[in-house]
């Protein structure tokens, strides 16, 4: 089923440059942006002080919901689009298309709108109403698929649509495009290194497309091979941690390489949900369940250390989960 998008958004009509840096305005030092896309990245770290941790162990959260589209996937979407333009595969008149369980969809809808492209998004029909409404608000066309087929069914559908009309579409292909991990190699990884002043000892992040772990992990390993990159995935195929993949039972993303992380932690859905609730109760952080899974793994890891700096990537906020009972 195709959900019609808002009319009047012509593909390729409003291309604009995205500057490498933003200006700083006035005595406040607040940034002055030429485009909303310059607000993507440079998200803050927040310290999570837990009384049970040893004095020399620090636990931090990387607040990715403060990207303008509300998640870490804004980074991915911007990189996919800019690299597509650079290669010539994306040009005026073409429609951006991809499959997504939600956050990349919102990111692509935002970036496509800002860059002047039509966007078509393929997703299971059980994606949260909040995410669907956000994509529609940005003017994207939604193509919904059988929820029983999950994310893999959406991937199959988008590949069929591209095969039928290759000249119409730019397939962003977040599961296979090198531009996905490149976003984190160029952005997330360097930010983590600079924000911790090179003291980072452990980086913890969930596995979905795997771009965050692959890209940021590669950068951090190049800086210091002693840094432990810890990947988090659900413990079972039938899980409720939206955005994360149970790799043994999923179509494995082409960009994923198990050698890119040093440790794999399995998290139960109920533990991820409970940890998200704990983050709100103890720290005032309203985060999503996949962020809860990363925090659960990071907190347990931090508790085994005598000293260290552990950073958990918190991919999105909890607002989009409230309608689903979160």
* Domain at 33-66+187-324: CATH architecture: 3-Layer(aba) Sandwich (3.40)
Mean pLDDT of 48-73: 96
Residue 27's pLDDT is 64
47 versus 326: the higher-pLDDT residue is 47
Pairwise CA distance, residues 299 & 310, whole Å: 9
Q: By mean pLDDT, which of 14-18, 101-105, 265-269 is the weakest? A: 14-18
Catalytic annotation present for 73: yes
Averaged pLDDT, 253-279: 97
The C-alpha atoms of residue 290 and residue 302 are separated, in whole angstroms, by: 18
Q: pLDDT over 70 for what percent of the chain?
A: 90
pLDDT over threshold 80, residue 36: yes
Could you tell me the residue ranges of all domains in the chain?
Answer: 33-66+187-324, 73-171
Q: What is the pTM of this model?
A: 0.90
One fold for 33-66+187-324 and 73-171: yes
CATH code reported for the domain at 73-171: 3.40.50.1100
The pLDDT assigned to 22 comes to 61
Percent of the chain residues past pLDDT 90, beyond the cut: 79
Question: Whole-angstrom Cα distance, residue 324 to residue 326?
Answer: 6
Annotation says 290 is catalytic? yes
Inter-residue contact 95 to 13 (CB < 8 Å): no
- 22 versus 233: which is more confidently predicted? 233
Residue tagged active-site, from 62, 71, 73, 101:
73
pLDDT band at 96 (very low <50, low <70, confident <90, very high): very high
Paired strand residues for 145? 124
At 12, the pLDDT band (50, 70, 90 cuts) reads: very low
**DSSP calls for 60-102:** EEEEGGGSTTSBTHHHHHHHHHHHHHHHTSS-TTPEEEEE-SS
What six digits make up the tokens of 46? 């927040």
Catalytic residue, from 99, 210, 250, 290: name it: 290
């Amino acid at each position: 089923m195709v959900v019609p998008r808002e009319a009047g958004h012509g593909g390729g009509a409003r291309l604009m440059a995205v500057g490498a840096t933003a200006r700083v305005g006035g005595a406040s030092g607040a940034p002055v942006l030429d485009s909303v896309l310059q607000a993507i990245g440079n998200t803050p770290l927040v310290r999570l002080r837990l009384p049970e941790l040893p004095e020399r162990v620090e636990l931090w959260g990387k607040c990715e919901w403060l990207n303008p589209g509300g998640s870490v996937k804004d980074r991915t979407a911007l990189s996919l689009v800019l690299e597509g333009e650079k290669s010539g595969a994306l040009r005026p008149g073409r429609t951006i298309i991809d499959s997504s369980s939600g956050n990349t969809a919102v990111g692509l809808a935002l970036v496509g709108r800002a860059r002047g492209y039509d966007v078509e998004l393929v997703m299971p029909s059980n994606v949260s109403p909040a995410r669907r409404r956000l994509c529609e608000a940005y003017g994207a066309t939604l193509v919904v698929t059988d929820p029983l087929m999950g994310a893999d069914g959406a991937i199959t559908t988008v590949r069929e649509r591209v095969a039928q009309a290759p000249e119409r579409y730019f397939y962003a292909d977040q599961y296979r495009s090198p531009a996905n991990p490149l976003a984190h190699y160029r952005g997330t990884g360097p930010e983590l290194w600079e924000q911790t002043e090179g003291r980072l000892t452990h980086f913890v992040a969930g596995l979905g497309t795997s771009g965050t772990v692959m890209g940021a992990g590669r950068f951090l390993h190049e800086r210091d091979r002693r840094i432990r990159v810890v990947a988090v995935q659900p413990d079972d195929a039938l899980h409720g941690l939206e955005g994360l993949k149970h790799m043994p039972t999923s179509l494995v993303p082409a960009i994923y390489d198990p050698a890119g992380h040093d440790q794999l932690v399995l998290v139960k859905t109920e533990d991820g949900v409970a940890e998200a609730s704990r983050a709100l109760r103890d720290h005032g952080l309203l985060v999503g369940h996949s962020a809860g899974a990363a925090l659960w793994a990071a907190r347990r890891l931090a508790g085994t250390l005598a000293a260290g700096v552990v950073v958990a990537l918190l991919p999105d906020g909890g607002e989009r989960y409230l309608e689903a009972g979160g």
